[in-house]
Amino acid sequence: MKINYSKKTLAIMALTGIMMGQTLTPNVAFAQEVKAENTTAVETTHENKVGKNLVLYVGKEAICRLSSQEEYDALTEKVKAYFTDEGAQVVEFNIEPAMELKEKSFTFEEVKTADEAYKMLTQGGRQEALYIAEEEETLEAIAERYGMTLEEIQKLNPELVDPIEKGTHVKVYQGCPMIQVKMEQIISMEQDLPFETEVRQDGNMYQGESKVLQEGVNGKKVITIHQGKTNGNIDFSVMNNQTISAEPVKRVVVEGTKERAATGTFMNPTTGRLTSRFGPRWGRMHKGIDVANSIGTSILAADGGVVTKACYSGSYGNLIEIDHQNGYKTRYAHLSGYKVSVGDKVTQGQLIGLMGSTGRSTGSHLHFEVIVDNVQVNPLGYVQY
């Protein structure tokens, strides 16, 4: 059966952009249209005489029948709760069109619960919306998705014919609230107050090194907001005041400023037994000293500087070269592993590699060279073994 809206109802619909329709049961009718020959109405008018026939109105529109004042109260509480933020203090609350419970001499067949009536009020309206086809589809499929009939969607879109191409704009009806709930609330909420970071410099630490002296902790503030909403959408939001409940604790970081540079003196680059000195050996020049120890023994930078080689290099095997940038270079050969790369700035005593037996070598040892202005000199003039 089709529902016939009165002129008045239509006027309300036009005003609010809301349409009823599917949510009403077939026997729904409005006061002026109910006739005695409607059997359901006749039956229920008996109840009217004892004053039990309660009808929920939204403005001038009869929505549904409720069983009691208690159900109506539960419904208004539910509506209020839906649009109010938890913990907020409501200072203004207004439902438009106004909701009212009236005793009436006509009725709906079914009695709705507060939950059902709530669903009608918050979703039972219909408003026109735009749907953009995501793929080729039919008007019927789109109508079904929106709970519309094929006739309704055709009437809204007289120019469209199946199949609907991807990207086509199709007018549809969408569920929406039948009421406008305008409310104002005061909400208090806690927010983080971010901590600041203080950087201190320390000349005793090398550049690139840093440590956290104190961890930062966010503070807390409580802000109070006066907020206006219509159906849950924010109309305005004004901060009333804010109080700091916990001050933040700043983060303190110490950064090193000391340059990674040469000290001007050399320390022993490793530990072990001196097995070969600088000078002529087997008819050739031995351009460094050999210090033997087990594979994996730590090799340290004899002084600070920049790593200029860290690669396999013929008879040297795995070789590291450090330019101390004061006229001196040092070389560390036959390594089994590297702990630095070319370009690294190293400090005196820093672990740079591991002893090994790569290249032209018999047994695990370090071949160590000291170079002054590109000429090898006797390392034992600088280190002691």
DSSP class of residue 351 equals E
Cβ nearer to Zn ion, comparing 229 with 367: 367
| 352 within 8 A of 300, measured Cβ to Cβ | yes
Candidates 367, 371, 379, 382; binder of Zn ion (CB under 5 A) is 367
DSSP class of residue 49 equals H
Q: Which stretch binds Zn ion (CB under 5 A): 34-42, 43-51, 319-327, 359-367?
A: 359-367
Least distance in Å: CB of 331 to Zn ion? 10
Q: Closest-CB residue for Zn ion? A: 367
329 binds Zn ion (CB under 5 A): no
| 299 within 8 A of 355, measured Cβ to Cβ | yes
Structure tokens that stand for 91 in this block: 């200072």
Least distance in Å: CB of 309 to Zn ion? 16
Q: What string marks each residue from 286 to 325 as x (binds Zn ion by CB under 5 A) or -?
A: ----x-----------------------------------
Least distance in Å: CB of 348 to Zn ion? 23
Structure tokens that stand for 67 in this block: 């069983």
Which residue in this structure is represented by tokens 């933040």? 248
Q: What string marks each residue from 243 to 282 as x (binds Zn ion by CB under 5 A) or -?
A: ----------------------------------------
334 binds Zn ion (CB under 5 A): no
Least distance in Å: CB of 275 to Zn ion? 9
Cα dihedral 328/329/330/336 (nearest 10): 160
Least distance in Å: CB of 281 to Zn ion? 9
Per-residue DSSP letters for 220-269? EEEEEEEEEEETTEEEEEEEEEEEEEE--B-EEEEEEEE-----SS---S
Least distance in Å: CB of 260 to Zn ion? 28
Cβ nearer to Zn ion, comparing 345 with 367: 367
Number of residues that bind Zn ion (CB under 5 A): 2
For helices 69-83 and 114-123, angle between their N-to-C axes, nearest 10 degrees? 40
Structure tokens that stand for 74 in this block: 């539960």
Burial of 52 (0-12, 13-18, 19+ CB in 10 A): middle
Cβ nearer to Zn ion, comparing 52 with 286: 286
Q: What are phi and psi of 9, to 5 degrees?
A: -60, -40
Cβ nearer to Zn ion, comparing 147 with 359: 359
d(CA 153, CA 170): 8
Cβ nearer to Zn ion, comparing 83 with 332: 332
Q: Which stretch binds Zn ion (CB under 5 A): 116-124, 136-144, 210-218, 365-373?
A: 365-373
Cβ nearer to Zn ion, comparing 229 with 331: 331
312 - beta bridge partners?
318
d(CA 80, CA 54): 21
Which residue in this structure is represented by tokens 């529902």? 3
Least distance in Å: CB of 324 to Zn ion? 20
Cβ nearer to Zn ion, comparing 238 with 285: 285
Cβ nearer to Zn ion, comparing 260 with 367: 367
Q: What string marks each residue from 96 to 115 as x (binds Zn ion by CB under 5 A) or -?
A: --------------------
Q: Is 376 helix (H, G, I), strand (E, B) or coil?
A: strand
Structure tokens that stand for 12 in this block: 């309300």
d(CA 234, CA 73): 26
Cβ nearer to Zn ion, comparing 71 with 290: 290
> Interface with Zn ion by CB under 5 A: which residues?
290, 367
